[in-house]
Amino acid sequence: MKILDFIFNLSLIDQNILIVTIAGYCIVLLSLALMAYIFTRLHFFQDYLANRRLKKMSDQVATEKPKPAMTGEENAAIAAALYLFFSEMHDEEKYVMTIKKVSRNYSPWSSKIYGVFSDIR
């Protein structure tokens, strides 16, 4: 048994093929480098947007009157409603699952054998 011999012949490679190959590798590597740069610098853009949002919110808070804090009665009512809601979700009900065996009588209307041998006669 002989191992497959691979012949590497440079004369079979066309100049256009080399240009397309090198251009493809360059495009892929440059796009990967650009994406890596963007992803590493993305937090600066996020921080900029967050600071703008905070500045707008602080301007709005300064112009608006402060809202009164919730009273203890309101907090107790909300807590009681949540407790009742979540305790009702877990009701335990008794389910009985039964499997009833149904026996069917033989019917030639559903038999496949009559359909298979009908053309043989």
Residue 62 confidence (pLDDT): 67
Domain count, the chain: 1
- In-domain check, residue 16: yes
Q: Give the C-alpha separation, 7 to 63, whole Å.
A: 80
Question: What is the phi/psi pair of residue 67, to 5°?
Answer: -80, 145
What residues contact residue 114 under an 8 Å CB cut-off, 6+ apart? 108
Mean local confidence (pLDDT), 3-11: 72
- In-domain check, residue 75: no
Go through the chain and tell me how many residues it has.
121
Residue 36 confidence (pLDDT): 95
Q: Say if residues 112 and 106 touch (Cβ distance below 8 Å).
A: no
Q: List the domain range (segments joined by +) for residue 23.
A: 11-64
- In-domain check, residue 105: no
Q: Which helix (H) or strand (E) holds 50?
A: helix 15-63
Residue 120 confidence (pLDDT): 53
- In-domain check, residue 58: yes
- In-domain check, residue 38: yes
Instruction: Tell me the pLDDT tens digit for each residue of 28-80.
Output: 999 999 999 999 988 888 888 899 988 888 877 666 666 677 788 888 899 98
- Residue 71's SS3 state is coil
CA atoms 84, 85, 86, 88: torsion sign = positive
What's the whole-model pTM score? Answer: 0.36
Q: Give the C-alpha separation, 63 to 56, whole Å.
A: 11
Residue 23 confidence (pLDDT): 97
- In-domain check, residue 97: no
- In-domain check, residue 59: yes
- In-domain check, residue 20: yes
Mean local confidence (pLDDT), 6-34: 89
Q: Give the C-alpha separation, 48 to 57, whole Å.
A: 14
